[in-house]
Structure 1
Amino acid sequence: MAVKKKFPYRSALVACNGGCHVQEGQSCENGCIGCGICVSVCPFQAIVINENGVAQVDEAKCVACGKCVRECPKQVIHIHECANYIVVRCSNRQNGKEARQVCLASCIGCGICEKTCTAGAIKVTEHCAVIDESVCLSCGMCVVKCPRHVLTDLRGIIC
């Protein structure tokens, strides 16, 4: 189903990549728990629970109505500008050592992305990278340098 979107194009984004579900018996206290509430409240069927057990948004179907953002019990969904392809797929707030023990792909707050970003769009806050989309150039240097692959290019071009 095609949806008419308003410019600037926005979409919901789940700030979790599901890496914590890889380690049996553990989960990130700040990540998506795959409860499906967002799936049930989305009027456009734009959200599914993926193979990693976390919510995933189809940008083509999402109109950024914000229902999933308001209903998410873990507050890991936010609205982002679709023109910005670079996103942080983590909502970790634990220090690096603790984060590594629970999630194979969590942000550890190392700051490499912050140092690499020539636009000054990335800041590490509470042990997790945060991108200021109004400043980000989507150049992808942070994606290339991130040792944990937490920063992602939604287009799949930069790995």
Structure 2
Amino acid sequence: MAVKKKFPYRSAVVACNGGCRSAEGEAGCADGCIGCGACVNKCKFGAISINEYGVAEVEEEKCIGCGACAKVCPQKVIHVHECANYIVVKCSNRKKGGEAKKQCEVSCIGCGICEKTCTASAIRVIDNCAVIEESMCLSCGMCAVKCPRHAIHDLRGIFSTVR
């Protein structure tokens, strides 16, 4: 049975796109999803799976935004967001530019291009990683278009490829 949702509804998002291929105990991105499956096991609605990159992925249609997955995530890379905003940062790497590039092929390097591009001032680089203030975001997608590392995604697939 499908859950009836009011707009804007909430859904979980994993702030990691799997470019680092991180695994627990390995020298990779210490801030990314480790694919442990804790969120998969906790979700009562079957909304989360581990994708081909070894990263947790949320099926928005099944997710009710309860946040149970975020609470059990050992890496704290899952958060609940309002689905009226389709633009998300799919990276949690806190390393500086060159080091972040070495760890992940699609990591945020904190270059600030997204921040300069955003006409709504909804995006800031904090600890070398872009963060979107959802209440201010217009979902125009310019940050996703301009991101040189493709760390910012449009969940609709309009401005960036859905992975």
Q: So what's the TM-score if we normalise by structure 2?
A: 0.93
For residue 96 of structure 1, report the CA deviation from its aligned partner. 1.0
In 2, Cα distance between equivalents of 1:2 and 1:148:
36
Counterpart code for 1:10: R
In 1, Cα distance between equivalents of 2:114 and 2:7:
29
Instruction: Name the counterpart of 2:12.
Output: 12
Which secondary structure does the structure 1 equivalent of 2:21 belong to?
A: helix
Instruction: Name the counterpart of 2:37.
Output: 36
For residue 4 of structure 1, report the CA deviation from its aligned partner. 2.3
Counterpart code for 2:10: R
CA contact (8 A) 1:20 1:26 kept: no
5+ residue gaps, structure 2, are none
Instruction: Name the counterpart of 2:147.
Output: 146
Which secondary structure does the structure 2 equivalent of 1:99 belong to?
A: helix
Please tell me the root mean square deviation across aligned C-alpha atoms, in Å. 1.4
**What per-residue deviation string (whole Å, max 9, x for no partner) do you get for residues 32-79 of structure 1?**
000000000000000000011000001100001111010000000000
For residue 7 of structure 1, report the CA deviation from its aligned partner. 4.1
Q: Aligned residue pairs: how many?
A: 158
Instruction: Name the counterpart of 2:63.
Output: 62
Counterpart code for 2:45: F
In 2, Cα distance between equivalents of 1:142 and 1:43:
34
**What per-residue deviation string (whole Å, max 9, x for no partner) do you get for residues 8-40 of structure 1?**
300000000000018xx6421000000000000
Instruction: Name the counterpart of 1:88.
Output: 89
1:158 aligns with 2:126: no
Which secondary structure does the structure 2 equivalent of 1:2 belong to?
A: coil
5+ residue gaps, structure 1, are none
In 1, Cα distance between equivalents of 2:142 and 2:65:
27
1:116-155 equivalences in 2 (<5 Å): 116-155=117-156
In 2, Cα distance between equivalents of 1:4 and 1:40:
23
Counterpart code for 1:15: A
Q: So what's the TM-score if we normalise by structure 1?
A: 0.95
Which secondary structure does the structure 2 equivalent of 1:133 belong to?
A: coil
Instruction: Name the counterpart of 1:105.
Output: 106
Which secondary structure does the structure 2 equivalent of 1:19 belong to?
A: coil
Which secondary structure does the structure 2 equivalent of 1:40 belong to?
A: helix
